[in-house]
Amino acid sequence: MSTPRRITLKDLARELGVSTATVSNAFNRPDQLSPALRERILGEARRLGYRGPDAMARSLRTGRSRIIAVILAESLTYSLNDAVASEFLSGVAEVLDTQGHTLLLLSSRQTQAQFPGSASMADGFIVYGLMPSPSLLESLPSQAALVAVDFDIEGRPAIHVDNEVACQAIARHALRMPPRRPAIVNLRLTAEPCNGPITASHRLLGAEQTITRSRLTGFYRALAERGIDPAGVPMWNIEENTFEVCAPVLEPILDLPGDERPDLLLCMSDRIALTALTLAEQRGLRVPEDLRITGFDGIAEGQYRAPRLTTVRQDSTEKGRMAARMILGLTPPASSLLATELMVGDSCP
């Protein structure tokens, strides 16, 4: 018995009595050979069960894999369950699909110190949400295309949302009705991990490290405009944008006696705001009468419920599309800023 080896382009060429170059052309450049010969080659290929040029060999030869990698800041488990990250990926996938490219998912939070070797096959990298550790970044092919999203990498194009303007706008809206006790719930803002109140002893991350710092600046501007001293507004911090992590931070706030409890919660994400909403409902607090709540993101879950969430919508899908177009060279690699949209719902009319 001969070994049932997989059939290759070379086998096919030998079988047909033509050169490998011609077979290759039959698959890749139809204009380079006569239609008749091409037909004969394709027919024989089908007959012999040859599926076309091997992807790995082609990649080695051409130096391109037609794979684009997205490097997510959080674990895949978190990112895949997060509406904002998921929408972003949708946008990326949409463009890649139409361009015959394929999507590889990577995470900065992984068990290994380096990316798996297979990661470096990608033709380009979209880095989402957070600067990976320098060593991770080093392990990427140095000349690969790279686009940063929601943060900056020196010398690379970045895609941002105008966080500061957006937060100033939503805070302005909320402050049109003066709150007695406004409060801010931040997301990953402290230098050291912290789930709870932010005190004077906490150092905050800089604007180049986290988008939420820009959001806070927006809130502060609006507060100052209304003559409210931002320093007097109590703040809390949350490390992970999930119900499980948000709830224990928010519960004590809502359980404060009525004359200490905030009557306006400016939240840095819809997940935080929705968690607050759920917990408020469980406690019989009326929204917006007893408590007004604003979010950030504009995720579906906040809009398909009653009361609808007042929030700022960022078009994560479009952000993904932009990143993908840029990484594929469909768009010149230049940093850009996406606009946001204030969405007035029922949680803060």
Partner DNA sequence: TTGTACGCGTTATCAA
Partner DNA sequence: TTGATAACGCGTACAA
Residue with tokens 């091409």: 38
CB 15 within 8 A of CB 49: no
The reply to whether 54 sits near DNA by the rule CB under 7 A is yes
DSSP state, 200?
T
For residue 40 the two structure tokens come to 């004969």
60 contributes a contact to its own copies by CB under 8 A:
yes
Among 193, 325, 347, 177, CA closest to 270: 347
Whats the size of the chain, residue-wise? Answer: 349
In the set 57, 177, 330, 339, which binds DNA (CB under 7 A)? 57
- Give the C-alpha separation, 23 to 282, whole Å: 69
Q: Please identify, using beta-carbon distances, which residue of 85 and 194 lies nearer to its own copies.
A: 85
The residue from 48, 60, 177, 191 that contacts DNA (CB under 7 A) is 60
Which of its own copies, DNA, none has residue 94 at its interface (CB below 5 to 8 Å by kind)?
Answer: its own copies
CA neighbor of 8 nearest in space, from 67, 64, 66, 58: 58
Per the CB < 8 A criterion, the answer to whether 220 and 167 are in contact is no
Determine, following the binding rule CB under 8 A, whether residue 59 of this chain makes contact with its own copies.
Answer: yes
Q: Which is nearer to its own copies, 28 or 199 (CB)?
A: 28
DSSP 8-state assignment for residue 54: -
Residue 120 as a binder of its own copies (CB under 8 A): the answer is yes
Chain-centre distance for alpha carbon 13: 46
DSSP secondary structure string for all residues of 307-335? SPPBEEEE-HHHHHHHHHHHHTTSS----
Count of residues in contact with DNA, rule CB under 7 A? 30
* Residue range at the interface with its own copies (CB under 8 A); choices 96-104, 195-203, 233-241, 325-333: 96-104
- Residue 175's SS3 state is helix
Distance CA 170, CA 310 (A): 8
Selected range binding its own copies among 151-159, 220-228, 289-297, 299-307, rule: CB under 8 A? 299-307
Q: Would you give the binding string for DNA spanning residues 167-186, x where CB under 7 A is met?
A: --------------------
Which of its own copies, DNA, none does residue 119 bind to, with CB < 5 to 8 Å depending on kind?
A: its own copies
| Residue 107 in the binding site for its own copies (CB under 8 A) | yes
x/- track of binding to DNA for residues 19-48 (CB under 7 A): xxxx-xx-xxx--xxx-xx-----------
Q: Nearest distance from residue 10's CB to DNA, in Å?
A: 5
3-state helix, strand, coil in the chain (%, to 5): 40, 15, 40
* Residue 243 site contact among its own copies, DNA, none (CB < 5 to 8 Å, cut-off depends on kind): its own copies
Q: Is 67 in the site for its own copies (CB under 8 A)?
A: yes
Residues 6 or more apart whose CB falls under 8 angstroms from that of 210 comprise 130, 151, 188, 189
User: Exactly one of 42, 44, 53, 251 binds DNA (CB under 7 A); which one?
Assistant: 53
What does 21 bind: its own copies, DNA, none (CB cut-off 5 to 8 Å by kind)?
DNA
Q: Using an 8 Å Cβ cutoff, are 88 and 128 in contact?
A: yes
Cis peptide before 179 (omega within 30 of 0): no
Helices 35-48 and 20-28: crossing angle in degrees, nearest 10, is: 100
Chain contacts with DNA (rule: CB under 7 A)? 5-6, 8-10, 17-22, 24-25, 27-29, 32-34, 36-37, 52-54, 57-58, 60-63
Binding interface with its own copies (CB under 8 A): 6, 49, 51-60, 63, 65-67, 76-77, 80-81, 83, 86-87, 89-90, 93-94, 97-98, 100-107, 110-112, 115-121, 139, 141-143, 243, 275, 278, 281-282, 300-301, 304-306, 317
